[in-house]
Structure 1
Protein backbone atom coordinates (compact mmCIF):
# COMPACT_ATOMS: atom_id res chain seq x y z
CA UNK A 1 0.00 0.00 0.00
CA UNK A 2 1.36 3.41 -0.95
CA UNK A 3 1.85 5.84 1.93
CA UNK A 4 1.38 9.56 1.29
CA UNK A 5 3.02 12.06 3.63
CA UNK A 6 1.13 15.35 3.94
CA UNK A 7 2.67 18.29 5.81
CA UNK A 8 0.05 20.54 7.43
CA UNK A 9 1.42 24.00 8.24
CA UNK A 10 -0.75 26.15 10.51
CA UNK A 11 0.23 29.73 11.36
CA UNK A 12 -2.48 30.38 13.93
CA UNK A 13 -1.33 32.33 16.97
CA UNK A 14 -3.84 31.18 19.56
CA UNK A 15 -4.78 27.75 20.83
CA UNK A 16 -7.25 26.78 19.59
CA UNK A 17 -7.38 28.99 16.50
CA UNK A 18 -9.67 29.22 13.50
CA UNK A 19 -6.55 28.75 11.35
CA UNK A 20 -5.85 25.37 12.95
CA UNK A 21 -9.52 24.42 12.67
CA UNK A 22 -9.45 25.09 8.92
CA UNK A 23 -6.12 23.28 8.55
CA UNK A 24 -7.61 20.22 10.29
CA UNK A 25 -10.68 20.28 8.05
CA UNK A 26 -8.53 20.41 4.93
CA UNK A 27 -6.27 17.63 6.21
CA UNK A 28 -9.25 15.41 7.07
CA UNK A 29 -10.77 15.92 3.61
CA UNK A 30 -7.48 15.03 1.89
CA UNK A 31 -7.04 12.01 4.15
CA UNK A 32 -10.56 10.78 3.35
CA UNK A 33 -9.96 11.15 -0.39
CA UNK A 34 -6.71 9.18 -0.21
CA UNK A 35 -8.30 6.45 1.91
CA UNK A 36 -10.99 6.09 -0.77
CA UNK A 37 -8.21 5.33 -3.24
CA UNK A 38 -6.77 2.66 -0.96
CA UNK A 39 -3.73 4.71 0.03
CA UNK A 40 -2.28 5.09 3.49
CA UNK A 41 -1.81 8.63 4.85
CA UNK A 42 0.54 10.20 7.36
CA UNK A 43 -0.40 13.73 8.41
CA UNK A 44 2.44 15.80 9.88
CA UNK A 45 1.03 18.90 11.62
CA UNK A 46 3.39 21.84 12.14
CA UNK A 47 2.17 24.61 14.46
CA UNK A 48 4.34 27.60 13.62
CA UNK A 49 3.60 29.35 16.93
CA UNK A 50 5.74 26.67 18.57
CA UNK A 51 8.71 27.70 16.40
CA UNK A 52 8.39 31.50 16.56
CA UNK A 53 11.63 32.13 18.49
CA UNK A 54 13.56 29.53 16.52
CA UNK A 55 12.43 31.18 13.29
CA UNK A 56 13.74 34.56 14.49
CA UNK A 57 17.05 32.92 15.43
CA UNK A 58 17.16 31.24 12.01
CA UNK A 59 16.84 34.63 10.30
CA UNK A 60 19.77 35.98 12.34
CA UNK A 61 22.08 32.97 12.18
CA UNK A 62 21.10 31.42 8.86
CA UNK A 63 20.70 27.99 10.45
CA UNK A 64 17.64 26.21 11.86
CA UNK A 65 17.93 24.34 15.12
CA UNK A 66 16.18 21.51 16.92
CA UNK A 67 12.49 21.11 16.26
CA UNK A 68 12.46 23.82 13.59
CA UNK A 69 15.06 21.96 11.53
CA UNK A 70 12.90 18.85 11.77
CA UNK A 71 9.77 20.80 10.73
CA UNK A 72 11.54 22.23 7.68
CA UNK A 73 12.73 18.77 6.70
CA UNK A 74 9.21 17.41 7.13
CA UNK A 75 7.90 19.92 4.59
CA UNK A 76 10.76 19.20 2.20
CA UNK A 77 10.13 15.44 2.39
CA UNK A 78 6.32 15.60 2.16
CA UNK A 79 4.39 14.52 -0.92
CA UNK A 80 2.15 17.59 -0.55
CA UNK A 81 1.63 20.56 1.74
CA UNK A 82 -1.46 22.12 3.28
CA UNK A 83 -0.59 25.69 4.31
CA UNK A 84 -3.02 27.90 6.25
CA UNK A 85 -2.44 31.41 7.55
CA UNK A 86 -4.45 34.05 9.37
CA UNK A 87 -4.73 37.35 7.51
CA UNK A 88 -2.95 40.39 8.96
CA UNK A 89 -2.88 43.77 7.15
CA UNK A 90 -4.47 42.20 4.05
CA UNK A 91 -1.76 39.53 3.64
CA UNK A 92 -0.31 36.37 5.19
CA UNK A 93 1.14 36.63 8.68
CA UNK A 94 4.81 37.39 9.28
CA UNK A 95 5.23 34.04 11.04
CA UNK A 96 3.87 32.21 8.00
CA UNK A 97 6.11 34.12 5.58
CA UNK A 98 9.21 33.64 7.75
CA UNK A 99 8.76 29.86 7.77
CA UNK A 100 8.67 29.68 3.99
CA UNK A 101 11.52 32.21 3.75
CA UNK A 102 13.88 29.88 5.60
CA UNK A 103 13.03 26.72 3.64
CA UNK A 104 15.94 25.44 1.60
CA UNK A 105 15.78 26.63 -2.04
CA UNK A 106 13.92 24.10 -4.16
CA UNK A 107 12.26 22.39 -1.19
CA UNK A 108 8.79 23.03 -2.64
CA UNK A 109 9.66 22.67 -6.32
CA UNK A 110 6.88 20.76 -8.08
CA UNK A 111 5.17 19.98 -4.77
CA UNK A 112 1.35 20.32 -4.62
CA UNK A 113 0.25 22.95 -2.10
CA UNK A 114 -3.30 23.48 -0.85
CA UNK A 115 -3.62 27.08 0.37
CA UNK A 116 -5.97 28.28 3.09
CA UNK A 117 -6.54 31.54 4.94
CA UNK A 118 -8.75 32.79 7.77
CA UNK A 119 -9.92 36.27 8.73
CA UNK A 120 -12.74 38.06 10.50
CA UNK A 121 -14.41 39.26 7.31
CA UNK A 122 -14.90 38.03 3.75
CA UNK A 123 -13.34 41.27 2.46
CA UNK A 124 -9.95 39.59 2.93
CA UNK A 125 -10.78 36.62 0.68
CA UNK A 126 -8.66 37.86 -2.23
CA UNK A 127 -5.53 37.25 -0.13
CA UNK A 128 -5.36 33.77 -1.65
CA UNK A 129 -4.74 35.14 -5.13
CA UNK A 130 -2.88 38.38 -4.46
CA UNK A 131 -0.53 37.05 -1.74
CA UNK A 132 -0.42 33.27 -1.25
CA UNK A 133 -0.57 32.12 -4.87
CA UNK A 134 2.32 34.40 -5.98
CA UNK A 135 4.38 33.24 -2.98
CA UNK A 136 4.05 29.55 -3.79
CA UNK A 137 4.46 30.13 -7.51
CA UNK A 138 7.73 31.93 -6.79
CA UNK A 139 8.85 28.95 -4.69
CA UNK A 140 8.09 26.75 -7.74
CA UNK A 141 5.40 24.81 -5.90
CA UNK A 142 2.18 23.72 -7.64
CA UNK A 143 -0.74 25.46 -5.91
CA UNK A 144 -4.10 23.73 -6.30
CA UNK A 145 -6.63 25.72 -8.36
CA UNK A 146 -9.02 26.15 -5.43
CA UNK A 147 -7.77 27.95 -2.34
CA UNK A 148 -9.98 27.94 0.75
CA UNK A 149 -10.78 31.14 2.63
CA UNK A 150 -12.86 31.10 5.80
CA UNK A 151 -14.24 34.17 7.53
CA UNK A 152 -15.62 34.06 11.07
CA UNK A 153 -19.17 33.48 9.84
CA UNK A 154 -18.08 30.44 7.81
CA UNK A 155 -17.60 28.50 11.03
CA UNK A 156 -21.21 29.04 12.09
CA UNK A 157 -23.72 26.23 11.82
CA UNK A 158 -25.70 27.97 9.06
CA UNK A 159 -22.65 28.40 6.80
CA UNK A 160 -20.84 25.13 7.46
CA UNK A 161 -22.12 23.52 4.27
CA UNK A 162 -20.63 26.22 2.07
CA UNK A 163 -17.22 25.90 3.70
CA UNK A 164 -17.38 22.09 3.54
CA UNK A 165 -18.02 22.25 -0.22
CA UNK A 166 -14.95 24.42 -0.78
CA UNK A 167 -12.83 22.18 1.43
CA UNK A 168 -13.94 19.04 -0.43
CA UNK A 169 -13.25 20.57 -3.84
CA UNK A 170 -9.76 21.74 -2.85
CA UNK A 171 -8.95 18.35 -1.31
CA UNK A 172 -9.97 16.57 -4.53
CA UNK A 173 -7.71 18.86 -6.54
CA UNK A 174 -4.74 18.25 -4.24
CA UNK A 175 -5.16 14.49 -4.42
CA UNK A 176 -5.32 14.67 -8.22
CA UNK A 177 -2.06 16.64 -8.32
CA UNK A 178 -0.33 13.84 -6.42
CA UNK A 179 -0.67 11.83 -9.64
CA UNK A 180 1.01 14.60 -11.66
CA UNK A 181 -0.02 18.00 -13.05
CA UNK A 182 -1.91 16.50 -16.00
CA UNK A 183 -4.13 14.24 -13.89
CA UNK A 184 -7.85 14.94 -13.94
CA UNK A 185 -9.52 15.42 -10.59
CA UNK A 186 -12.82 13.94 -9.49
CA UNK A 187 -13.83 17.41 -8.39
CA UNK A 188 -17.33 18.41 -7.27
CA UNK A 189 -18.78 21.08 -9.60
CA UNK A 190 -18.54 24.64 -8.37
CA UNK A 191 -21.83 26.14 -7.22
CA UNK A 192 -22.86 29.71 -7.79
CA UNK A 193 -23.99 32.29 -5.24
CA UNK A 194 -24.95 30.39 -2.09
CA UNK A 195 -22.36 27.68 -1.63
CA UNK A 196 -20.14 29.13 -4.36
CA UNK A 197 -16.47 28.22 -4.38
CA UNK A 198 -15.76 31.62 -5.93
CA UNK A 199 -15.91 35.04 -4.30
CA UNK A 200 -19.17 36.81 -5.15
CA UNK A 201 -18.77 40.59 -4.77
CA UNK A 202 -22.52 41.27 -4.92
CA UNK A 203 -23.23 38.80 -2.13
CA UNK A 204 -20.45 40.36 -0.06
CA UNK A 205 -21.96 43.82 -0.39
CA UNK A 206 -19.56 45.36 -2.89
CA UNK A 207 -20.82 47.67 -5.65
CA UNK A 208 -19.71 46.96 -9.21
CA UNK A 209 -18.11 49.69 -11.32
CA UNK A 210 -21.22 49.81 -13.50
CA UNK A 211 -23.42 50.45 -10.45
CA UNK A 212 -21.10 53.14 -9.15
CA UNK A 213 -20.98 54.80 -12.58
CA UNK A 214 -24.76 54.77 -12.84
Structure 2
Protein backbone atom coordinates (compact mmCIF):
# COMPACT_ATOMS: atom_id res chain seq x y z
CA UNK A 1 0.00 0.00 0.00
CA UNK A 2 1.52 3.32 -1.08
CA UNK A 3 -0.25 5.63 1.39
CA UNK A 4 -3.31 6.17 3.58
CA UNK A 5 -5.21 7.77 0.70
CA UNK A 6 -3.83 5.58 -2.09
CA UNK A 7 -4.45 1.97 -3.06
CA UNK A 8 -2.50 -0.07 -5.58
CA UNK A 9 -4.50 -2.05 -8.14
CA UNK A 10 -3.03 -4.56 -10.59
CA UNK A 11 -5.13 -5.68 -13.54
CA UNK A 12 -4.32 -8.95 -15.30
CA UNK A 13 -5.69 -9.51 -18.81
CA UNK A 14 -5.15 -12.85 -20.53
CA UNK A 15 -6.51 -11.84 -23.92
CA UNK A 16 -4.64 -13.35 -26.85
CA UNK A 17 -5.35 -10.77 -29.54
CA UNK A 18 -4.86 -7.02 -29.84
CA UNK A 19 -7.34 -5.61 -29.20
CA UNK A 20 -9.18 -8.26 -27.22
CA UNK A 21 -12.53 -8.35 -25.48
CA UNK A 22 -10.72 -9.47 -22.32
CA UNK A 23 -8.63 -6.29 -22.35
CA UNK A 24 -11.74 -4.22 -23.02
CA UNK A 25 -13.47 -5.75 -20.02
CA UNK A 26 -10.33 -5.33 -17.90
CA UNK A 27 -10.18 -1.63 -18.79
CA UNK A 28 -13.82 -1.10 -17.87
CA UNK A 29 -13.49 -2.95 -14.58
CA UNK A 30 -10.37 -0.96 -13.73
CA UNK A 31 -12.02 2.38 -14.60
CA UNK A 32 -15.08 1.54 -12.51
CA UNK A 33 -12.91 0.52 -9.55
CA UNK A 34 -10.92 3.77 -9.82
CA UNK A 35 -14.22 5.69 -9.74
CA UNK A 36 -15.50 3.68 -6.78
CA UNK A 37 -12.30 4.34 -4.84
CA UNK A 38 -12.43 8.04 -5.74
CA UNK A 39 -15.97 8.24 -4.34
CA UNK A 40 -14.48 7.05 -1.06
CA UNK A 41 -11.66 9.61 -1.14
CA UNK A 42 -9.00 7.15 -2.31
CA UNK A 43 -6.59 7.59 -5.23
CA UNK A 44 -5.77 4.49 -7.29
CA UNK A 45 -2.32 3.50 -8.55
CA UNK A 46 -3.27 1.24 -11.48
CA UNK A 47 -1.20 -0.97 -13.75
CA UNK A 48 -2.74 -3.13 -16.48
CA UNK A 49 -0.76 -6.21 -17.51
CA UNK A 50 -1.23 -8.01 -20.82
CA UNK A 51 -0.11 -11.60 -20.20
CA UNK A 52 0.43 -12.14 -23.93
CA UNK A 53 3.47 -9.86 -23.59
CA UNK A 54 4.94 -12.29 -21.05
CA UNK A 55 3.94 -15.60 -22.67
CA UNK A 56 7.51 -16.71 -23.47
CA UNK A 57 8.76 -15.66 -20.03
CA UNK A 58 5.95 -17.64 -18.40
CA UNK A 59 6.91 -20.76 -20.32
CA UNK A 60 10.55 -20.28 -19.33
CA UNK A 61 9.48 -19.79 -15.70
CA UNK A 62 7.47 -23.01 -15.74
CA UNK A 63 10.46 -24.90 -17.15
CA UNK A 64 13.24 -23.33 -15.07
CA UNK A 65 11.53 -21.97 -11.97
CA UNK A 66 13.03 -18.55 -12.68
CA UNK A 67 11.04 -15.43 -13.52
CA UNK A 68 12.99 -13.14 -15.81
CA UNK A 69 12.99 -9.35 -16.03
CA UNK A 70 9.59 -8.05 -16.98
CA UNK A 71 7.70 -11.03 -15.57
CA UNK A 72 9.51 -10.67 -12.24
CA UNK A 73 8.37 -7.06 -12.06
CA UNK A 74 4.76 -8.07 -12.75
CA UNK A 75 4.83 -10.76 -10.06
CA UNK A 76 6.32 -8.35 -7.52
CA UNK A 77 3.76 -5.71 -8.41
CA UNK A 78 0.87 -8.15 -7.98
CA UNK A 79 2.22 -9.37 -4.64
CA UNK A 80 2.41 -5.83 -3.23
CA UNK A 81 -0.97 -4.68 -4.52
CA UNK A 82 -4.01 -3.83 -2.44
CA UNK A 83 -6.32 -5.37 -5.02
CA UNK A 84 -6.35 -7.48 -8.16
CA UNK A 85 -8.57 -7.69 -11.23
CA UNK A 86 -8.09 -10.90 -13.23
CA UNK A 87 -9.77 -11.34 -16.62
CA UNK A 88 -9.58 -14.37 -18.89
CA UNK A 89 -11.16 -15.48 -22.15
CA UNK A 90 -13.12 -18.70 -21.76
CA UNK A 91 -11.99 -21.67 -23.86
CA UNK A 92 -13.66 -25.09 -23.60
CA UNK A 93 -15.67 -23.96 -20.56
CA UNK A 94 -12.62 -22.89 -18.54
CA UNK A 95 -9.94 -20.22 -18.22
CA UNK A 96 -7.13 -19.99 -20.76
CA UNK A 97 -3.80 -21.76 -20.41
CA UNK A 98 -1.97 -18.42 -20.44
CA UNK A 99 -4.07 -17.20 -17.52
CA UNK A 100 -3.47 -20.39 -15.53
CA UNK A 101 0.26 -20.25 -16.23
CA UNK A 102 0.60 -16.85 -14.59
CA UNK A 103 -1.08 -17.96 -11.39
CA UNK A 104 0.89 -21.22 -11.45
CA UNK A 105 4.21 -19.36 -11.18
CA UNK A 106 3.25 -17.20 -8.21
CA UNK A 107 5.03 -18.06 -4.99
CA UNK A 108 2.87 -19.75 -2.37
CA UNK A 109 1.08 -17.19 -0.24
CA UNK A 110 1.31 -14.38 -2.79
CA UNK A 111 -2.46 -13.91 -2.99
CA UNK A 112 -3.34 -14.69 0.63
CA UNK A 113 -6.26 -12.42 1.51
CA UNK A 114 -5.89 -10.39 -1.70
CA UNK A 115 -9.15 -8.62 -2.67
CA UNK A 116 -9.79 -9.95 -6.17
CA UNK A 117 -12.38 -9.27 -8.84
CA UNK A 118 -12.86 -12.03 -11.41
CA UNK A 119 -13.85 -11.32 -15.01
CA UNK A 120 -14.18 -13.37 -18.16
CA UNK A 121 -15.24 -13.03 -21.79
CA UNK A 122 -16.66 -15.48 -24.29
CA UNK A 123 -18.62 -15.81 -27.48
CA UNK A 124 -21.80 -16.97 -25.77
CA UNK A 125 -23.49 -16.55 -22.43
CA UNK A 126 -23.57 -20.32 -22.00
CA UNK A 127 -20.02 -20.20 -20.63
CA UNK A 128 -20.72 -17.65 -17.90
CA UNK A 129 -20.65 -20.28 -15.14
CA UNK A 130 -17.00 -21.00 -15.94
CA UNK A 131 -16.20 -18.15 -13.56
CA UNK A 132 -17.91 -20.03 -10.74
CA UNK A 133 -16.91 -23.63 -11.45
CA UNK A 134 -13.37 -23.01 -12.73
CA UNK A 135 -11.92 -19.59 -11.88
CA UNK A 136 -13.33 -19.04 -8.40
CA UNK A 137 -12.20 -22.46 -7.05
CA UNK A 138 -8.66 -21.77 -8.28
CA UNK A 139 -8.54 -18.46 -6.45
CA UNK A 140 -10.03 -20.08 -3.35
CA UNK A 141 -7.12 -22.54 -3.44
CA UNK A 142 -4.73 -19.58 -3.74
CA UNK A 143 -6.48 -18.07 -0.69
CA UNK A 144 -7.43 -14.87 -2.50
CA UNK A 145 -10.45 -12.94 -1.20
CA UNK A 146 -12.65 -12.86 -4.29
CA UNK A 147 -15.52 -10.37 -4.22
CA UNK A 148 -19.04 -11.83 -4.52
CA UNK A 149 -19.79 -10.41 -7.98
CA UNK A 150 -17.83 -11.86 -10.92
CA UNK A 151 -18.34 -10.26 -14.34
CA UNK A 152 -18.81 -12.27 -17.52
CA UNK A 153 -19.21 -10.54 -20.90
CA UNK A 154 -20.51 -12.44 -23.93
CA UNK A 155 -20.55 -11.06 -27.45
CA UNK A 156 -24.11 -9.78 -27.04
CA UNK A 157 -23.18 -7.81 -23.91
CA UNK A 158 -21.17 -5.18 -25.76
CA UNK A 159 -24.09 -3.35 -27.39
CA UNK A 160 -27.66 -2.23 -26.76
CA UNK A 161 -29.51 -3.50 -23.71
CA UNK A 162 -26.82 -6.10 -23.14
CA UNK A 163 -24.25 -3.38 -22.49
CA UNK A 164 -26.56 -1.75 -19.96
CA UNK A 165 -26.70 -4.97 -17.99
CA UNK A 166 -22.94 -5.39 -18.28
CA UNK A 167 -22.40 -1.84 -17.01
CA UNK A 168 -24.54 -2.56 -13.96
CA UNK A 169 -22.59 -5.73 -13.16
CA UNK A 170 -19.29 -3.88 -13.60
CA UNK A 171 -20.38 -1.08 -11.27
CA UNK A 172 -21.54 -3.52 -8.59
CA UNK A 173 -18.35 -5.61 -8.76
CA UNK A 174 -16.11 -2.53 -8.75
CA UNK A 175 -17.86 -1.20 -5.67
CA UNK A 176 -17.29 -4.49 -3.88
CA UNK A 177 -13.61 -4.52 -4.82
CA UNK A 178 -13.07 -0.90 -3.78
CA UNK A 179 -14.65 -1.55 -0.38
CA UNK A 180 -12.52 -4.67 0.15
CA UNK A 181 -9.33 -2.83 -0.86
CA UNK A 182 -10.02 -0.04 1.61
CA UNK A 183 -10.87 -2.46 4.41
CA UNK A 184 -7.74 -4.54 4.03
CA UNK A 185 -4.39 -3.44 5.37
CA UNK A 186 -1.87 -4.79 2.88
CA UNK A 187 1.02 -6.56 4.57
CA UNK A 188 2.48 -8.09 1.40
CA UNK A 189 3.71 -11.67 1.02
CA UNK A 190 5.43 -13.28 3.96
CA UNK A 191 9.21 -12.91 3.99
CA UNK A 192 10.65 -16.38 4.73
CA UNK A 193 13.79 -14.76 6.19
CA UNK A 194 12.06 -12.09 8.28
CA UNK A 195 12.03 -14.16 11.47
CA UNK A 196 15.09 -16.28 10.87
CA UNK A 197 17.24 -17.19 13.87
CA UNK A 198 20.68 -15.53 13.86
CA UNK A 199 23.54 -17.89 13.05
CA UNK A 200 25.25 -17.17 16.39
CA UNK A 201 22.11 -18.23 18.27
CA UNK A 202 21.93 -21.47 16.30
CA UNK A 203 25.54 -22.24 17.29
CA UNK A 204 24.74 -21.44 20.90
CA UNK A 205 21.78 -23.83 20.88
CA UNK A 206 23.92 -26.62 19.44
CA UNK A 207 26.52 -26.06 22.17
CA UNK A 208 23.90 -26.85 24.78
TM superposition score normalised by structure 2: 0.85
d(CA) in 1 for partners of 2:167 and 2:29? 9
More helix by share: 2
* 2:144 aligns with one of 141, 144, 152: 141
d(CA) in 2 for partners of 1:180 and 1:138? 22
What's the offset of the Cα at 1:104?
Answer: 1.0
* 2:64 aligns with one of 40, 61, 65: 61
What's the offset of the Cα at 1:168?
Answer: 0.4
Structure 2 portions without partners, runs of 5+: 185-208
Asked if 1:9 is matched to 2:8, the reply is no
Measured on the aligned residues, the alpha-carbon RMSD in Å equals 1.0
**CA contact under 8 A between 2:7 and 2:182: conserved in structure 1?**
no
Residue 203 of structure 1 corresponds to which residue in structure 2?
none
What's the offset of the Cα at 1:48?
Answer: 0.1
Asked if 1:42 is matched to 2:41, the reply is no
Residue 128 of structure 2 corresponds to which residue in structure 1?
125
Secondary structure of the residue aligned to 1:159 is helix
Residue 210 of structure 1 corresponds to which residue in structure 2?
none
**CA contact under 8 A between 2:79 and 2:110: conserved in structure 1?**
yes
What's the offset of the Cα at 1:180?
Answer: 3.5
- Any runs of at least 4 consecutive aligned residues in structure 1 with deviations exceeding 6 A, and if so which? none
Secondary structure of the residue aligned to 1:165 is helix
Asked if 1:52 is matched to 2:55, the reply is yes
d(CA) in 2 for partners of 1:33 and 1:180? 14
Judged with a 3 Å threshold, the aligned counterparts in structure 2 of structure 1 residues 171 and 161 are, in CA distance, closer, same or farther, namely same
What's the offset of the Cα at 1:36?
Answer: 1.1
Q: Pick the structure with greater CA Rg.
A: 2
The alignment of Structure 1 onto Structure 2 pairs a total of residues equal to: 181
d(CA) in 2 for partners of 1:4 and 1:179? 8
What's the offset of the Cα at 1:122?
Answer: 0.3
**CA contact under 8 A between 2:13 and 2:48: conserved in structure 1?**
yes
d(CA) in 1 for partners of 2:132 and 2:106? 22
**CA contact under 8 A between 2:119 and 2:152: conserved in structure 1?**
yes
Secondary structure of the residue aligned to 1:107 is coil
What's the offset of the Cα at 1:66?
Answer: 0.6
> Larger relative CO (CA 8 A, sep 6+): 1 or 2?
2
Structure 1 portions without partners, runs of 5+: 182-214
* 1:74 aligns with one of 63, 74, 77: 77
Asked if 1:169 is matched to 2:205, the reply is no
What's the offset of the Cα at 1:159?
Answer: 1.6
